[in-house]
Structure 1
């Protein structure tokens, strides 16, 4: 990620089957809608969180810990929202 990280959150994935296609799509859409630069890090790999394919390639499972980095104005609010999404069971939505 370029520039300075304005906000960072770490959370545990709550979706029972992890971030497969549907939960990954919901999360990447929220990232795109935020209009912020967001990265997702887990297992030593960092990706652009706006890319659903990048999210899926991380093979994030239920219970995995991920770190969200957000750049831009109002980054704390966006980081809190994105953290809440990942801490929810996205399969139930």
Structure 2
């Protein structure tokens, strides 16, 4: 699976690379946070992985869905940055 990971730091990359050894996903890391200005970076990625300060409002989720994203994974405990109704409507 092609995965775009936003708001990454070196320690995120180290951890995810180690965890991905057996899974074999194709991961691309972006330092930038996910938002309306950066959602196009995820075009053609089946999944995106976001952090607590990334934005996943309706506009961002619609852009992701148009670009081919089918899964939004969070690497944080909260999900208040995700519009759950929009995600459900878009099948994310």
TM-score by length of 2: 0.30
Q: RCO higher in 1 or 2 (8 Å CA, sep ≥ 6)?
A: 1
Max Rg structure: 2
The structure with the greater share of residues assigned to strand is: 1
TM-score by length of 1: 0.29
